[in-house]
A and B are shown apart, each in its own frame.
Chain A
Amino acid sequence: MTALRIVIDVLIGISAIFALAGTIGILKMPDTFSRMQASTCIPTLGTICALLGALLYAIFFKNGDAGSAVKIGVICLLILVTNPLGSHAIAKGAYKAGVRPEKKMEVDDLGRDLYD
């Protein structure tokens, strides 16, 4: 049981590290799209490792609480399905609205083909 407890704590620690990385990225990256890239760290490994830890906890420390375990799985699934939809929409919308990085991008095929 102690070993399992350590595994759970390590998972939640990993999630905290990746969430910190994403936050630093949001604050320090130079332009909008790079910030969005960095923030993708938070919902993927950041949230999913924490949910995995919670899942193990619900299964092994709550006497096999299947209801909670399944709901955690559903949360994980919904995050994985909905997060990229939001990212597509925000990135495309920002580009269409005229947001461009200060330093010119090395290749910019979207601008070349569609908008400029």
Chain B
Amino acid sequence: MQKTTFPAVVATFVVSFAFWVLLTWSFTVQELIVGAVVSLGVALFSARFFIHEKAFWLFNPAKLLNGLFYWVCIFPVELVKANVDMAKRCFGGCKKINPGIVKVPVDLKSDYGQAALANSITLTPGTITMDITEEEGQTYYYIHWIDVTAPSGKEAGDAIKGTLEKGLRRVWE
């Protein structure tokens, strides 16, 4: 288990406090003080589970902007494309499917990057990340794919997550 470090506590505190403010959305002094105390308690106990790498990566403006660009421009476009495709299959009587589980190499190194990519893949209809393994330094995802058009390997990886991975690499590396 990791040790609780001071930067990790600060980062967790900022996130918890922002979440408190969003949930209550009142700016009286009393509420803010209670929120700060509660956030500090939460940060002390959970910082070591929440922060695994550099604590302040999100406070770097360039990466923050890249992240915003990813979650506002790149990801929704892919989401809508996949949704329309899936809706067509469903209204067409669910006949045109060809499911299978492919194994796909992933080049992201950071834990957060891998988690974000796996969640993005799962959120787009048509692909679900089922498992993740590491073999000889290379990370692989097992992905259930509703319409297999390419065998396992790099080609399938580009078809499933090419754009997403390019966007995420700018955020985490």
Residues on B with beta carbons closer than 8 Å to the beta carbon of A24 = 90-91, 94
Contact of A45 among B83, B93, B94, B151 (CB under 8 A): B83
Residues on B with beta carbons closer than 8 Å to the beta carbon of A83 = 122-123
Q: State which of B53-61, B62-70, B124-132 sits at the interface with chain A.
A: B124-132
Residues on B with beta carbons closer than 8 Å to the beta carbon of A105 = 99-101
Bound together, the chains give a CA A5 to CA B144 distance in angstroms of 40
Find out whether the CB atom of B122 lies under 8 angstroms from the CB atom of A88: yes
With A25-B94, A107-B151 as given contacts, are A41 and B87 in contact (CB-CB < 8 Å)? Answer: yes
Contact with B along A2-29 (1 / 0, CB 8 A): 0000000000000001100110110011
Find out whether the CB atom of B22 lies under 8 angstroms from the CB atom of A74: yes
Contact with A along B80-103 (1 / 0, CB 8 A): 100100110111011001111111
Bound together, the chains give a CA A83 to CA B98 distance in angstroms of 24
Interface residues of A in 92-116 (CB under 8 A from B): 92, 95, 101, 105-111, 113-114
Find out whether the CB atom of A101 lies under 8 angstroms from the CB atom of B99: yes
Please tell me if A1 contacts chain B, counting CB pairs below 8 Å: no
B53 to chain A, nearest CB (A): 19
On chain A, which size bracket covers the interface? Answer: 35 or more
Contact with B along A23-55 (1 / 0, CB 8 A): 011001111011011101100110000000000
Residues on A with beta carbons closer than 8 Å to the beta carbon of B36 = none
Chain B binding site: helix, strand, loop or mixed by DSSP? mixed
Contact of A36 among B93, B94, B128, B131 (CB under 8 A): B128
Please tell me if B164 contacts chain A, counting CB pairs below 8 Å: no
Contact with B along A73-98 (1 / 0, CB 8 A): 11000001101110110011001000
On chain B, which size bracket covers the interface? Answer: 35 or more
Find out whether the CB atom of A34 lies under 8 angstroms from the CB atom of B25: no
Closest to A81 in B: B119
Find out whether the CB atom of B128 lies under 8 angstroms from the CB atom of A88: yes
Bound together, the chains give a CA A22 to CA B88 distance in angstroms of 10
- By a beta-carbon cutoff of 8 Å, the part of chain B in contact with chain A is 19, 22-23, 25-26, 79-80, 83, 86-87, 89-91, 93-94, 97-103, 118-120, 122-131, 133, 142, 144, 146, 148, 151-152
A-B pairs, top 4 by smallest CB distance, nearest first, are A84-B122, A21-B87, A109-B103, A25-B90
Please give 8 more A-B residue pairs, beta carbons under 8 A apart, in addition to A34-B94, A92-B131, A110-B101.
A18-B83, A21-B86, A33-B99, A38-B125, A71-B25, A83-B123, A87-B128, A106-B99
- By a beta-carbon cutoff of 8 Å, the part of chain A in contact with chain B is 17-18, 21-22, 24-25, 28-31, 33-34, 36-38, 40-41, 44-45, 66-67, 70-71, 73-74, 80-81, 83-85, 87-88, 91-92, 95, 101, 105-111, 113-114
